Each structure stands twice: as structure tokens, then as C-alpha cells.
């Protein structure tokens, strides 16, 4: 097994790879890359899922490197499992560090969740309780990741479906404590906030009050599915639809409150034509430009 000490660290905990502008980018998925390249990379920036590019070569990575030559890049992970009590997988960290060293992304991020237990990887981003014990575990894992990667990590707020018992703090308080303890940044997913507020039947303020907005370095916008579960309407964070009006309204509110941030249109399932994503990005850019024109 490789050890993190086998090679030097990448450097201090800094955002790298050139600044991502406070404009709208798109989540670039493999079915769109050839079309995206053929059109001259028509976006301000792009984000990819880190785990899709961990192989140290091949045509997939080569295509992404062609995009990276033209645009700033954000790498969004789904596999760190920051909530795992067993700690982080050193091999996974080594592979991420190699990828980031090759692509030099401006931002790197992962989720406030867990997906590994006893060496078994689960195909989901599972919730964790907002307790002092969980805070200690997640903060330690974030410190470990930032030291190993030599980069500041952005942590994304989750979508929620049920109330976990024995909560000791709100989600916003938990995220604020992580920022204070580790110096990490936040990736604020506004669709997740809308989904959580709807599913838990709580006001948006419960998820917004106390958030450390100064730490927000990126915003995600996405759509969701509507489902019925035992006679109750539930929103599913599946990233498979256009950004709905309620999320656009929340985005306008956030931009008015905290100012422009790099904003991603995230679409992962039931992928539409690339033009649909670009139109969604244009709508976000219109709102950002409206803030600048005030």
C-alpha cells in the first residue's frame, strides 16, 4: 500500500490553477466532451467528478486535459467519505493528489457525508448526525485531506430526507464549526437546501441562519425529481432536470446577500443536449450580471 509520506506534499492549502471567475460554469460529463471541444469550449469554466479521471492516462483524461488548456477547472469528489470514523483511504488520497498535480484545478471539493465502513464502499452519500463526536471525526478527516492534497478543500452541504435522532446542532452550525476548525471552504448547493427544507418540512431559514457565507467559494444549481413515498411527496436530489423556479429564487436571494460566486449548473442523470446546460448557465450569468449592474 502506498503511503502519503512517500512523495512530497503539493504545497500549502491554497486554491490553485488560476482563479475561477464569478460566472456560471457547467458540470462537464463524458457524453458532452467531444461536442464541447468541437464548439471551442464555450463556457467560463467547468467542473468534473474527480473519481472519473483517476486512471493515470488514456483517452478520457487526454480529452479533459485539452479542455483544461482552455478553461479553469474545478474537481468535485464523491469518494473521500469525510464522515468515516475509520479515517480516509490513503491510496485514494494519493490518486487524487496525482490527478490534481496533473490538472492543477482551481477548486477541489467533496461532500459532507460518508460512504465507507469497514473497508466496504457503498454506492451512496450517506448522512451523518450533527454531533460533537461527528464534528471531531469530520474535522480530523478534512485536516488529513488538506494536508495530503496540499489544497484547501470545499465541503458541500448534503440533501436530507429524514431527521436523524440526537442532533446536537443545526447543519449550518456544523458547517460553520468545520470552517472555523479546519479552514476549509464551502460549496453551497442550493438545490440541496431546497430539497432538505421541503423533505423535512422546515423553513429555509433553518438551513441558512448561521452559515459562514464568507467561506462560500462555489455554488451549485441543479434540478430534482418529485416522488411519492407512503403517501408523502418527497424531493429526490437526482440532478436530472432543469433548475426549478424555487431554486432560481433562492439563488437570486443568495447573490443579493453574499455577492457573486462561481456558479455551477450540475446535471448528472437523464442528460440533455449540451445546449440545454449552456442555456441554464446563461440564465445564471444574467442574474450575476444584474448584480454587477446595480
**Of residues 80, 74, 71, the one with CA closest to residue 112:** 80
65-84 pLDDT, tens digit per residue, is 999 999 999 999 999 999 99
Per residue, the 3-state secondary structure of 61-79, as one string, reads: HHHHHHHHCCCCEEEECCC
Interacting residues of 200 by C-beta distance below 8 A, sequence separation 6+: 160, 162, 163
Interacting residues of 154 by C-beta distance below 8 A, sequence separation 6+: 107, 108, 109, 110, 184, 185, 186, 187, 217, 218
Query: What are 231's three cell numbers?
Result: 403517501
Domains and CATH numbers, the chain: 4-292 (3.20.20.150)
Interacting residues of 1 by C-beta distance below 8 A, sequence separation 6+: 90, 91
Strand partners, 124: none
**Of residues 104, 95, 108, 220, the one with CA closest to residue 154:** 108
Query: What are 129's three cell numbers?
Result: 448526525
**Of residues 152, 210, 212, the one with CA closest to residue 182:** 152
- For residue 7, name the pLDDT band (cuts at 50, 70, 90): very low
160-219 pLDDT, tens digit per residue, is 888 888 889 999 999 999 999 999 999 999 999 999 999 999 999 999 999 999 999 999
**Of residues 280, 294, 201, 276, the one with CA closest to residue 245:** 280
**Of residues 164, 80, 168, the one with CA closest to residue 125:** 80
Q: How far apart are alpha carbons 286 and 4 in whole angstroms? A: 44
- For residue 126, name the pLDDT band (cuts at 50, 70, 90): low
What's the pLDDT at 17?
A: 52
Q: How far apart are alpha carbons 286 and 294 in whole angstroms? A: 13
pTM of the model: 0.91
Contact 290, 52 (CB under 8 A): no
What's the pLDDT at 122?
A: 61
Total Cβ atoms within 10 A of residue 184: 26
Q: What is the bridge-based pairing of β-strands 216-222 and 185-189?
A: parallel
242 DSSP 8-state letter: P
Contact 81, 114 (CB under 8 A): yes
161 DSSP 8-state letter: S
Amino acid at each position: 500500500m502506498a503511503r502519503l509520506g512517500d512523495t512530497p506534499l503539493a504545497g500549502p492549502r491554497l486554491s490553485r490553477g488560476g482563479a475561477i471567475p464569478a460566472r456560471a460554469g457547467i458540470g462537464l460529463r463524458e457524453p458532452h466532451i467531444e461536442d464541447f471541444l468541437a464548439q471551442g469550449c464555450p463556457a467560463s469554466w467547468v467542473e468534473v467528478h474527480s473519481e472519473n479521471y483517476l486512471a493515470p492516462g488514456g483517452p478520457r483524461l487526454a480529452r479533459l486535459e485539452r479542455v483544461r488548456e482552455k478553461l479553469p477547472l474545478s474537481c468535485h469528489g464523491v469518494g473521500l467519505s469525510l464522515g468515516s470514523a475509520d479515517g480516509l483511504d490513503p491510496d485514494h488520497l494519493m490518486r487524487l493528489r496525482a490527478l490534481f498535480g496533473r490538472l492543477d484545478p482551481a477548486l477541489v471539493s467533496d461532500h459532507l457525508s460518508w460512504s465507507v465502513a469497514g473497508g466496504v464502499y457503498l454506492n451512496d452519500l450517506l448522512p451523518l448526525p450533527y454531533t460533537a463526536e461527528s464534528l471531531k471525526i469530520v474535522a480530523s478527516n478534512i485536516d488529513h485531506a488538506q494536508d495530503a492534497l496540499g489544497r484547501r478543500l470545499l465541503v458541500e452541504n448534503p440533501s436530507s430526507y429524514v431527521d436523524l435522532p440526537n442532533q446536537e446542532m443545526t447543519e449550518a452550525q456544523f458547517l460553520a464549526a468545520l470552517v472555523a476548525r479546519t479552514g476549509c471552504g464551502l460549496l453551497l448547493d442550493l438545490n440541496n437546501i431546497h430539497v432538505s427544507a421541503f423533505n423535512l418540512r422546515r423553513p429555509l431559514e433553518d438551513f441558512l441562519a448561521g452559515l459562514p457565507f464568507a467561506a462560500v467559494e462555489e455554488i451549485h444549481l441543479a434540478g430534482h425529481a418529485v416522488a411519492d413515498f407512503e403517501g408523502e411527496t418527497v424531493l429526490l436530489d437526482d440532478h436530472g432536470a432543469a433548475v426549478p423556479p424555487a431554486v432560481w429564487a433562492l439563488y437570486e436571494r443568495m447573490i443579493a446577500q453574499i455577492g457573486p460566486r462561481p456558479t455551477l449548473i450540475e446535471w448528472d442523470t437523464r442528460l440533455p443536449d449540451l445546449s440545454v446546460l449552456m442555456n441554464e448557465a446563461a440564465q445564471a450569468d444574467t442574474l450575476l450580471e444584474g448584480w454587477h449592474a446595480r
